[in-house]
Structure 1
């Protein structure tokens, strides 16, 4: 993924190294060749069962000198270590051991957990808003019916008032009658519901109706 141009595999058993090299298109060298070839590597990943360090400080100093101090990244995942800890103190040699990698993993996990908590909070908020919207949709048809009913009442009374005016009725009386009848028609159903809730002793429904009508 990062466009590595060349791989070199150093192994104690050359045959095993060659089998791996065929899979990844790598060059094979022996462990004894590392000192001479270390300067060719930008990245060194080491994981052997050697009881003693394979890459020592002096070896790395020579490699850096040959590279004219071009940086080298060393990842030592062997236990015990394949790279002397002193190598990490050299300028332009960036050494990471198992402990360093574990610390990086723990840091990444902490960041992921924090991100997960944040993501969960966003999901809860957004899903709550969506459910509120969804519940509101169930009221749309009821609201539409209620508006249609009120509009029907208005249109009926308006047509009667206009007819009365055309017949020469007193405009003031027509207007007063229109307002009176419109009010009575619109409050008829809520009034019946309030009376029924009071008769039933249903205080919760009574309070709900009061809230719906905007009553303090």
Structure 2
């Protein structure tokens, strides 16, 4: 039984194809529950995000996994063949660890993927399609991801605009739980800003958007973490004073936050400091605002230079992380081999015990029949030795006949070491 990782991601498939084979949690739970009755393929975890859909499975047939992935989404398997990557055993373990650690992400080191992989394992376990062996591999991958996060800097530098704004807010203000944030426009960029800051525990988020639909959608997404208020766009200027941090990204052709508006807001705040981030091009905030005491104004270029530097640092840290992952893969594979060897040794010992018992019963029967006990014991020793050494003799003979002589020499050397250890006299104290 081999461990396979098979799937597509942002590097191998278009967004259209990724959409075709994506699973939402509800549908995935249902499909996996049905799969639990399939004896040929019932040990698997499916990770499905906007950037990847991957199947991790214990099976003897990777093609079966590929066919399942295609059939489950109602597409021809030929559509996947040129886009699917496939890893087996140690390579599959390495891939899983890299995914969980954020080393294989579109945004290097992004932290969300670990939670998504954990959620995928949870769905599979609830559907009863995860064996103890597969679960051990995933738990070790989580351990590897934790090591990468805590012992390298691969995830410690802001490399997205949204995260950079959140980090900037923490640098300017020492107590995030007392901050009120205003996002002007609820597009993708500001949604990320709001979500990052909500996760960091700010007190309140004000959403100011031209339409209500996007504002309400963003509010629903973060309301479980933070107090949220939606402000009409025509009331932007009169509400500026309420915000400690303002992130604006409207896409307007004209500046929407003026020097006079901010000056008035500062006066209402009794000149408590404000952080203003202008993510828009053309700019939303009048550049002259930077001259006001107590206002920190950052633009796209300011943040981009920080992001570029941080991304370079992440890439450098990723080299260290890759070395760590390779070491951890080796450790896990070694542990698995030892575990497998343990079961093989147990089976061999059990078989040896059965042979010994058979020979003993045969010898006792001969003694009861009146045969000379010394001769019987001598014959018993010879027969048992021959049976026990027979498998080893076959292995040595096959190794000697193999094209690669190293295997035979290794076995010969190890056996000599074992026999020498057994010949060492034991000294009593």
Q: Using the TM superposition, give the Cα deviation of residue 64 of structure 1 relative to its aligned residue in structure 2, in angstroms.
A: 1.8
1:40 aligns with 2:235: no
How many residues are treated as equivalent by the alignment?
Answer: 195
128-137 vs 68-77, which deviates more?
128-137
**Helix, strand or coil at the partner of 1:155:** helix
Alignment partners' CA distance in 2, 1:196 and 1:124: 33
Higher RCO, 1 or 2 (CA under 8 Å, sep at least 6)? 2
Q: Residues 133-188 of structure 1: CA distance to partner in whole angstroms, max 9, x if unpaired?
A: 77778878976774455334312221133234445666666545433432233234
Provide structure 2 residue ranges, at least 5 long, that are not aligned to the other structure: 1-194, 199-203, 216-230, 418-429
1:72 maps to 274
CA-atom RMSD in angstroms: 4.9
TM-score (norm 1): 0.56
Alignment partners' CA distance in 2, 1:194 and 1:21: 79
151-160 vs 138-147, which deviates more?
138-147
2:305 maps to 103
**Helix, strand or coil at the partner of 2:308:** helix
Alignment partners' CA distance in 2, 1:206 and 1:49: 78
Q: Using the TM superposition, give the Cα deviation of residue 102 of structure 1 relative to its aligned residue in structure 2, in angstroms.
A: 0.9
1:215 maps to 416
Structure-to-structure mapping, 1:106-121, within 5 angstroms: 106=308, 109-110=311-312, 113=315
Which protein is richer in helix relative to its size? 1
**Helix, strand or coil at the partner of 1:157:** helix
Alignment partners' CA distance in 2, 1:158 and 1:189: 20
Contact 2:367 2:373 in 1 (8 A): yes
Q: Residues 79-117 of structure 1: CA distance to partner in whole angstroms, max 9, x if unpaired?
A: 577222643x723x2221222221343355346546765
Flag the 1:90–1:148 CA change in 2: closer, same or farther, 3 A. Answer: same
Alignment partners' CA distance in 2, 1:99 and 1:200: 65
Larger Rg: 1
1:150 aligns with 2:352: yes
Alignment partners' CA distance in 1, 2:373 and 2:299: 97
1:94 aligns with 2:296: yes
Q: Using the TM superposition, give the Cα deviation of residue 74 of structure 1 relative to its aligned residue in structure 2, in angstroms.
A: 1.2
TM-score (norm 2): 0.33
